[in-house]
Amino acid sequence: MDATSDPMIRLSGVGKTYDDGTVAVHELDLEVPRGEVMCLVGPSGCGKSTTLKMINRLIEPTTGRILLDGRDVTDVDPVTLRRGIGYVIQQIGLFPHHTVATNVATVLSLLGTPRAKARERATELLDLVGLDPDLYADRYPAQLSGGQRQRVGVARALAADPPVLLMDEPFGAVDPVVRGRLQEEFRRLQQELHKTVVLVTHDIDEAVTMGDQVAVFATGGRLAQVGTPLEVVARPADDFVADFVGSTTSLRRLRVTPVAAEHLEPLDDVRTGDLAATVDLGVTLEQALTVLLGHDEQVVGVRQGSGFAGVLTPNGIHRALRASLADAS
Ligand code: ADP
Ligand code: MG
């Protein structure tokens, strides 16, 4: 059997009942494929953080098994296990009296990486998350904005290049504008790094934007649905999911429906050199609409490889959205 086709993370019948009798997670089966982002989403108290912490053994499950890269996590020493898993939390947990560079290099120091090498890696990572090392490496956490601290948290989690990242409301503590930017940067980063990511959020918009798959949790630690963002938004498994996905469903559909060849019109009268506004085939309708409005144009050229697949008009966007909504009913 090809080991690389196995999921990176597999939870089988995982449950957690706290000592006071609270059932936080109930009989959870979940698989996260290698290199994909799985978003755990649901209302407060539905067991998302507990699930995440069972993967890196900050919390021990009461039932079930968790396999990481085919190995039962209870067979791995918890400290060793956690060094191989990046962990990003909302309150970041940076050491206030250590510089940014030292914070980023925390795990490297623990692993015995020589000081100069660790510093070099910290510099690289700050660059990677969009913080100029010349400006920020020697600052202290209190001298940064919330968004900058969150970037440092991500850089630190990536320091030892772990294959798996666990993120608990990673963008929760910043304002919506910064949040949007951090989400976009993380998506770009993930396209380069292909980590296996489990991301916890209570925000369905964040879940459908960030996830290759979305797992919707209901109260009582019950998994209500797992699927692609489009599946969850278009075909909620039950009333709970339908409710949670919410009343702005039609507009949310823009965000999860990709631009496909059938939505396009031929290039006939347009010379490609005349196309100011262009997107790639497969971007979402929302991205295409944003580009269209941003350029004050009548059409968006849709690239496919080195050529053009056609043009998308406002009518095309409308048709695509109607088709996507009709699919659901
Ligand atoms: P979420 O991250 O989805 O908001 P949590 O996983 O933190 O939810 O919590 C799930 C449930 O378990 C909640 O009812 C919470 O109050 C409870 N819980 C969390 N930690 C503990 C604990 N240490 N002892 C008892 N109950 C807990
Ligand atoms: Mg939580």
| pLDDT at 247 > cutoff 60 | no
Please, which residues bridge with residue 30 across strands?
11
* C-alpha 6 – ligand 1 centre gap (Å): 30
Residue 282 · residue 259 · CB < 8 Å: yes
Pocket test for ligand 1, best of 22, 167, 198 (most atoms within 8 A of CB): 22
User: For ligand 1, is residue 202 a contact (CB within 6 Å)?
Assistant: no
pLDDT digits (tens, 9 = 90+) for 292-310: 888 877 889 999 988 889 9
* C-alpha 134 – ligand 1 centre gap (Å): 41
pLDDT number for residue 1: 46
Measured distance CA(298)–CA(312) in Å, rounded = 9
* C-alpha 49 – ligand 2 centre gap (Å): 4
Ranges of CATH 3.90.1280.20 domains, the chain: 257-328
User: For ligand 1, is residue 20 a contact (CB within 6 Å)?
Assistant: yes
Residues 6+ apart with CB under 8 A from 142: 96
User: For ligand 1, is residue 50 a contact (CB within 6 Å)?
Assistant: yes
* C-alpha 10 – ligand 2 centre gap (Å): 20
Closest CA to 61 of 31, 23, 97: 23
Which ligand 1 atom is the nearest neighbour of the CA of 25?
10
| Single-letter amino acid, residue 67 | L
Confidence of residue 329 (pLDDT cuts 50, 70, 90): low
Which ligand 1 atom is the nearest neighbour of the CA of 200?
2
pLDDT number for residue 147: 86
Residues 6+ apart with CB under 8 A from 240: 216, 218, 224
| pLDDT at 269 > cutoff 80 | no
Measured distance CA(170)–CA(246) in Å, rounded = 23
- pTM for this predicted structure: 0.80
* For the CA of 40, the nearest ligand: 1
DSSP 137: T
Pocket test for ligand 1, best of 16, 20, 46, 167 (most atoms within 8 A of CB): 46
Section 111-139 average pLDDT: 93
User: Between 252 and 222, whose confidence is greater?
Assistant: 222
User: For ligand 1, is residue 47 a contact (CB within 6 Å)?
Assistant: yes
Measured distance CA(321)–CA(309) in Å, rounded = 19
Fold of 3-254: Rossmann fold (3.40.50)
* For the CA of 91, the nearest ligand: 2
**Cα 318 to chain centroid, rounded:** 28
Q: Looking at 13-22, 27-36, 280-289, which range is the least confident one?
A: 280-289
Closest CA to 32 of 261, 211, 275, 290: 211
| pLDDT at 91 > cutoff 90 | no
What are the backbone dihedrals phi and psi of residue 66, each rounded to the nearest 5 degrees, phi first? -125, 120
Closest CA to 208 of 140, 258, 165: 258
Q: How far is CA 42 from CA 46, 131, 256, in A?
A: 6, 32, 18
Closest CA to 103 of 71, 66, 140: 140
Closest CA to 42 of 180, 169, 178, 194: 169
Ranges of CATH 3.40.50.300 domains, the chain: 3-254
DSSP string computed for 177-234? HHHHHHHHHHHHHHHHH--EEEEEES-HHHHHHH-SEEEEEETTTEEEEEE-HHHHHH
What are the backbone dihedrals phi and psi of residue 138, each rounded to the nearest 5 degrees, phi first? -100, 10
DSSP 261: G
User: For ligand 1, is residue 219 a contact (CB within 6 Å)?
Assistant: no
pLDDT number for residue 248: 58
- Which pair of tokens denotes residue 61? 């499950």
Fold of 257-328: CBS domain Like (3.90.1280)
Mean pLDDT of the chain: 89
* For the CA of 51, the nearest ligand: 1
User: For ligand 1, is residue 45 a contact (CB within 6 Å)?
Assistant: yes
Section 85-97 average pLDDT: 84
Residue nearest to atom 15 of ligand 1 (CA): 45
pLDDT digits (tens, 9 = 90+) for 18-56: 999 999 999 999 999 999 999 999 999 999 999 999 999
Percent of the chain with pLDDT over 70: 95
Confidence of residue 92 (pLDDT cuts 50, 70, 90): low
Measured distance CA(149)–CA(155) in Å, rounded = 10
pLDDT number for residue 156: 92
- Which pair of tokens denotes residue 23? 């059932």
pLDDT number for residue 214: 97
Residue 158 · residue 165 · CB < 8 Å: yes
Residue nearest to atom 1 of ligand 1 (CA): 45
Measured distance CA(218)–CA(240) in Å, rounded = 7
Closest CA to 47 of 33, 62, 32, 36: 62
